[in-house]
Amino acid sequence: MPSDSIPTITIIVASTRSTRFADLPLSWIVERLGARDDLAIEVLDLRDNQLPYYDSPTPPARAPRTYYTEAERAIGEALDRADGYLVITNEFNHGYSAALKNVLDHFFVEFRRKAIAFAGYGSVGGSRAIEQLRQVVSELEMASTRHAVHIVGSQMLQIRAEPQSAAGIFEAMNDRLDLVVDDLAWWATALQTARAREVVAA
Ligand SMILES: Cc1cc2nc3c(=O)[nH]c(=O)nc-3n(C[C@H](O)[C@H](O)[C@H](O)COP(=O)(O)O)c2cc1C
């Protein structure tokens, strides 16, 4: 992608459950980001294209873009197109989903030197899962934003009890989402420029 084009932000949906809560924040985030003209969005839904557990003979850092299955290729190419990622993450036992870890382990250059931000939900807004993710993405040489979106347990309970309350609850968080995405777009653009300069120099 040329360095002067707007960054592509890929929204990754970590929950693969059929009755997941994730679809509610996903709709809000897609609508809010889709209204911006400073970035393009794609959605990578891990439920659509589930990877088998990692079973490759060579670590992805040493075998860039070597895909052994169609699922790996589809996800790898989607990750490659992105300049930054916004991960919508649930929290299981104070960690993030196994499906998301499996994706993080399958790829390296696709993620490397790109920006990443998080929107979490759970009793404490997915914050424990997000803090774990920050550690992991630093190994992939990614830049994670300082701020994150946190949808807390009381908000989830209210949305579950009164689904019509969801729009108002999310609307009240628009400023927070904008703050996170402004940061993400800044980093995505900066790193997009830096990566393009590297290609030209090579
Ligand atoms: C095995 C299991 C462990 C969970 N652990 C946590 C947890 O540590 N923190 C939390 O906030 N929610 C926890 N939850 C509740 C999930 O946040 C909740 O089920 C959420 O809706 C899952 O996301 P999803 O509906 O998008 O799949 C747990 C749920 C399950 C089934």
Regarding the beta carbon of 21 and ligand 1, being less than 6 Å apart is answered yes
pLDDT tens profile 148-163 = 999 999 999 999 999 9
pLDDT value of residue 198: 81
Residue 81, Cβ density class (10 Å: 0-12 exposed, 13-18 middle, ≥19 buried):
middle
pLDDT value of residue 159: 98
User: pLDDT-based confidence at 3, cuts 50/70/90?
Assistant: very low
To test the pocket of ligand 1, the residue of 92, 118, 160 to mutate (highest count of ligand atoms within 8 Å of its CB) is 92
Please tell me the distance between residue 84's alpha carbon and the centre of ligand 1 in angstroms: 26
Q: Name the β-bridge partners of 16.
A: none
Atom 18 in ligand 1: residue holding the nearest Cα: 122
pLDDT over threshold 60, residue 1: no
| Mean pLDDT on 30-41 | 97
Domains of the chain: 8-201 (3.40.50.360)
Q: Which ligand 1 atom is nearest residue 20's CA?
A: 25
pLDDT tens profile 59-82 = 999 999 999 999 999 999 999 999
pLDDT value of residue 4: 57
* Percent of the chain surpassing pLDDT 90: 93
Short-list 139, 70, 65, 143, CA closest to 106: 65
Q: Which ligand 1 atom is nearest residue 22's CA?
A: 26
Please tell me the distance between residue 91's alpha carbon and the centre of ligand 1 in angstroms: 5
| Mean pLDDT on 14-27 | 98
Regarding the beta carbon of 90 and ligand 1, being less than 6 Å apart is answered yes
pLDDT value of residue 193: 96
pLDDT value of residue 199: 75
Which residues have C-beta within 8 Å of that of residue 48, sequence separation ≥ 6? none
pLDDT tens profile 93-123 = 999 999 999 999 999 999 999 999 999 999 9
pLDDT value of residue 202: 62
